Structure 1
Amino acid sequence: MGAIVVQHLGKAYKQYPARWSRLAEWLLPFMGPRHSLKWILQDISFHVAPGEAVGLIGINGAGKSTLLKLITGTTQPTTGGVHIEGKVAALLELGMGFHPDFTGRQNVYMAGQLLGMTVDEITALMPDIEAFAEIGDYMDQPVRVYSSGMQMRVAFSVATARRPDVLIVDEALSVGDTYFQHKSFDRIRRFRNQGTTLLIVSHDKQAIQSVCDRAILLDGGRLARSGNPEEIMDYYNALIAERENQNVQQSVHDSGKVQTISGTGEARVADIALFDESGARAEVVDVGSHCILQVKVRVHAPIPRMVLGYMIKDRLGQPMYGTNTHLKELPLDNMAPGEEVTYRFSFPMNLGPGTYSVATAIVSTDTHLVNNYEWRDLALVFTVMNMRRPHFEGSAWLDPHIEIQRP
């Protein structure tokens, strides 16, 4: 089993004020350095244990790709070091190392040897690689005629032809079609179950939360936060909103979960509750029963246009259902300080048994990135139990009417 240990890792590039400064520094070393250092990463330390899956997230330019290159050894660090145990397979830049004039098959042989496989091993694995990539006759066509999705199919297929001890995947998977993304993540999950250590970069919240045990957030070339994937993804989303001069707060609930609240505070959720069929506040509701989600919003500043949205998530933080009053064409205009609005969302609780949470957003359109008055995660937690329905599996109550015909 593999492991990754990163200690005080840093990467800086030299910046010269003029085109001849580099030459002058080389010819006249006694005159001192003529460059300044541009730090891309500084003092990054973390440990990925054997069999653990860790997601790496951050905005563009945070240093994610540079960090992966340092970990895989394609770039040398300025400070610190990396230690990896076991065989490593890495899928970084799309089609990295592929020669455009060679065929897909020829590139498979080259890429496979770079991964440490022999020609005989690649030949034995070639039928499986072709079957997984599913590009047909294109395997014997030059890579220059491939689409980006086809390159990704071949690159992923050869990188995962053998189960590695450590699998490192950059955002190349986001290029492929939905079918192949599902297929790829199924293989990644299978490797995980077999003990592969995983480090994955993705902006896909569902991918991070469904695959990873832990998430690491990079911001400005530094390790900003590490923890539960749901907590880190919520903080990451709030951090994006913070770029618009909004506040981010996190607090720990009695359950141990971390609640994230961000926004300008010009409007806030004053109260939120779930009501059952009898009209009583409820923390536990029955599968398929009629429910009302009631949200009271208090306005603290003039707001030209106000929209309330909510998202129901499962215990892993994956979205089950979400909507808002913008999508329903029910926004409120010209809100004044001191006003209080009560929203009631009525629906059947067609969710499977389990624990769920509700996140709320008070915005001006359909996204918290424009005017985020308040975004509140874990605003409400409730449990769904199956009290009256036949047993079923899954996260949704989709009870069918069944017709059977026999000849």
Structure 2
Amino acid sequence: MSLMIVDNLGKAYRTYKTEWHRFGRWLGIPCQPNEEHWVLRHLNFEIQPGEAIGIVGQNGAGKSTLLKMITGTLQPTEGSIQVNGRIAAILELGMGFNPELSGRENVFHAAGLMGFSTRQIQKAMPDVEAFAEIGEYFDQPVRTYSSGMQMRVAFAVATAYRPEILIVDEALSVGDSYFQHKSFNRIREFQEQGTTLMIVSHDRSAIQSLCDRAILLEQGRILKDGSPEEIFDFYNALIAEKEKSTIEIKKLESGRVRTISGTGEAKIKDINLFNEKREKADFVEVGESVFIKANVVINANIGTLVFGYSIKDKHGQIMYGTNTWHTKQIVKNPRKGDEYTFLVSFPANLGPGTYSVQTALVDSQTHLTSNYEWQDLALVFDVVNSNQTYFDGSCWIEPSIRVEKA
């Protein structure tokens, strides 16, 4: 059974000539609004138990509105949401907190609204206080709190009891690094116990590390639903899209999706990875000296050409990336028909696993000004470990360990 079913969901904000017309609409009298603005429309998706869903989209796409309707703080204009389980949500910072009450008093109030008894709240209170780690401020008015302290208390009370569905908006971004790590660890613990996660964030690494699925919203509609890597690659291409640029999507034999975008004024003709023997390679050894060779053709006269690349793991997390803007190797005034070769040498100080290379041909330090070509999964290779001491992780950082008897 699905944990959540969103069926033809929509939210509109309407203005009427008079409040009587609005009141008449509530009573079912056909009163046409003066203006009607749809924030969300025709949303359909299902969530299964244990899934982790990232909601992605530009500002104004309707992400927060969607979460508010799921949690019941906002009523839909059309469609329905069926939820089969208890929801815990962290939406707007300090939402529902009384600034004149202490953190402890607000925890009683918030947990009570979540449906827990006084006895249950009293039993959980020491854990909430310990997790929040704000010391004596826990018994001070919330109006004296910093935004980070409010976040600590809000997260602690929302996760004091494991919910079937945990919803987190961008609010976690205001916390300090220590508490963010602590919060994500708790989220992962809940996931292991079967909690379904729905998170809104612009942080690609957070969604790719926590989620197994992502939904891209654009102008209030679902534009794409798929793996986080595929969604973020498409989203990245979308926000960089300019006049005359295109987005091309190709499904590879491995099942992964390659996204290519750009104006085409410069394009990668071919790209390969070479091992220490200067042979083309699909796999390399941990620590081996390798190089990437990218041949680029110029299809129009342009002012500057910058080549960039990133190495990503199988989850789409960037291991390393840079470009020739930062290395001060900018190509000036390339002409139509010119060809350039970029050779990138580096030691494969990576953990065993599958990696991909993302490439960018742009005019400056970013692809947001002129994006000639942006290509995800331009190259895929494997790293194996048959020569080095066994280790865990994505990076090879060989240690020197001394053991001394005290």
The reply to whether TM is greater than 0.5 is yes
Residues 84-114 of structure 1, C-alpha deviations (whole Å, 9 max, x = no match)? 1111101111110011111111111111111
Alpha-carbon distance in 2 for matches of 1:24, 1:43: 29
**Equivalent residues of 2:362, 2:373 under 8 A apart:** yes
What residue number does 1:227 align with?
226
CA distance in 2, matches of 1:28, 1:168: 35
Contact 1:2 1:165 in 2 (8 A): no
Matches within 5 A, 1:143-158: 143-158=142-157
* Separation (CA, whole Å) in 2 of partners of 1:27 and 1:399: 71
Counterpart residue number, 1:250: 249
Contact 1:2/1:86 (<8 A) preserved: no
* Residue in 2 that maps onto 1:185: 184
Contact conserved, 2:2 with 2:46, CA < 8 A, in 1? no
CA distance in 1, matches of 2:24, 2:282: 75
- Asked if 2 retains the 8 angstrom alpha-carbon contact of 1:296 and 1:343, the reply is yes
Distance of 1:324 and 1:203 partners within structure 2: 23
8 Å CA contact 1:2–1:87 kept in 2: the answer is: no
Q: Is 1:113 aligned with 2:112?
A: yes
What is the match of residue 365 of structure 1? 364
> Residue type matched to 1:25 in 2?
H
Deviation at 1:354, TM superposition (A): 0.6
C-alpha offsets along residues 328-347 of structure 1, whole Å, 9 cap, x if unaligned? 11111111111111111111
Deviation sequence 1:345-368 (CA, Å, 0-9, x none): 111110011110000011122211
Q: 1:143 to 1:380 in 2, by over 3 A?
A: same
Q: 2:18 aligns with which of 22, 28, 41?
A: 22
Output the CA distance in 1 between the equivalents of 2:340 and 2:162: 56
Please list, as runs of the form range in 1=range in 2, the aligned pairs for 1:130-209 lying within 5 A after superposition.
130-209=129-208
Q: Is the 8 A contact 1:2 1:51 kept in 2?
A: no
Aligned to 2:260: 261
Q: CA deviation at 1:140?
A: 1.3
Residue number in structure 2 paired with 1:10: 10
- Name 2:35's counterpart in structure 1: 36
Amino acid at match of 1:7: D
The Cα shift of 1:278 comes to 0.6
Equivalent residue for 1:295? Answer: 294
Taking the aligned partners of 1:243 and 1:108, their CA distance within structure 2 comes to: 48
- Structure 1 CA distance for aligned equivalents of residues 2 and 138 of structure 2: 32
CA distance in 2 between partners of 1:28 and 1:385 (Å): 70
- 1:231-261, CA deviations, whole angstroms, 9 ceiling, x for partnerless residues? 0111111111125653211110111110001
State TM-score, norm by structure 2.
Answer: 0.96
What is the TM-score with the length of structure 1 in the denominator? 0.95
2:262–2:373 CA contact under 8 A, matched in 1 = yes
| Deviations 1:276-306 (CA, angstroms, capped at 9, x unpaired) | 0011111111111110111111111122121
Q: Any residues of structure 2 matched to 1:308-323 within 5 Å, and which?
A: 308-323=307-322
- Runs of 4+ in structure 1 off by over 3 angstroms are 23-32
The one-letter code matched in structure 2 to 1:273 is N
Letter aligned with residue 327 of structure 1: H
Cα distance, 1:322 vs structure 2 = 0.7
Q: d(CA) in 1 for partners of 2:55 and 2:103?
A: 30
Amino acid at match of 2:96: G
Offset of residue 36 of structure 1: 2.6
Partner letter of residue 305 of structure 1?
T
Tell me if structure 2 keeps the 8 A contact 1:5–1:82: yes
Decide whether aligned partners of structure 1 residues 23 and 54 sit closer, same or farther in structure 2, where only a CA change above 3 A counts.
closer
In structure 2, what is the Cα distance between the partners aligned to 1:348 and 1:292?
8
Alignment of 1:48-59 (within 5 A): 48-59=47-58
CA offsets 1:163-212 (integer angstroms, 9 cap, x no match): 01111111111111111111111111110010011111111111111111
Letter in 2 for 1:390: T
Task: Flag the 1:82–1:405 CA change in 2: closer, same or farther, 3 A.
Answer: same
Q: Matched residue of 1:233: which SS?
A: helix
Residue type of the alignment partner of 1:150: M
Could you tell me whether the CA contact under 8 Å between 1:274 and 1:291 is conserved in 2?
yes
Q: 1:29-70: CA deviations, max 9, x gaps? A: 999525232111101010010111111111010001111111
**Would you say the 8 A contact 1:352–1:384 is kept in 2?**
yes
Given that residues 22 and 34 in structure 1 are in contact (C-alpha distance below 8 angstroms), is that contact kept between their aligned partners in structure 2? no
1:34 to 1:292, Cα distance in 2 relative to 1, 3 A: closer
- In 1, Cα distance between equivalents of 2:117 and 2:302: 66
Paired position in structure 2 for 1:64: 63
Distance in 1 between the 2:151 and 2:221 partners?
29
**Distance in 1 of aligned mates of 2:98 and 2:136:** 18
Q: Give the letter aligned to residue 12 of structure 1.
A: A
d(CA) in 1 for partners of 2:303, 2:37? 43
Kindly indicate whether the alpha-carbon contact (under 8 Å) linking 1:2 and 1:196 is maintained by their aligned counterparts in 2. no
- 2:387 alignment counterpart: 388
Mapping for residues 309-348 of structure 1, pairs under 5 Å: 309-348=308-347
Contact in 2 for aligned 1:253/1:259 (Cα 8 Å)? yes
Greater Cα shift, 24-33 or 62-71: 24-33
Deviation at residue 325 of structure 1 after TM alignment: 0.8
Letter in 2 for 1:345: V
Distance 2:402 2:149 in 1: 42
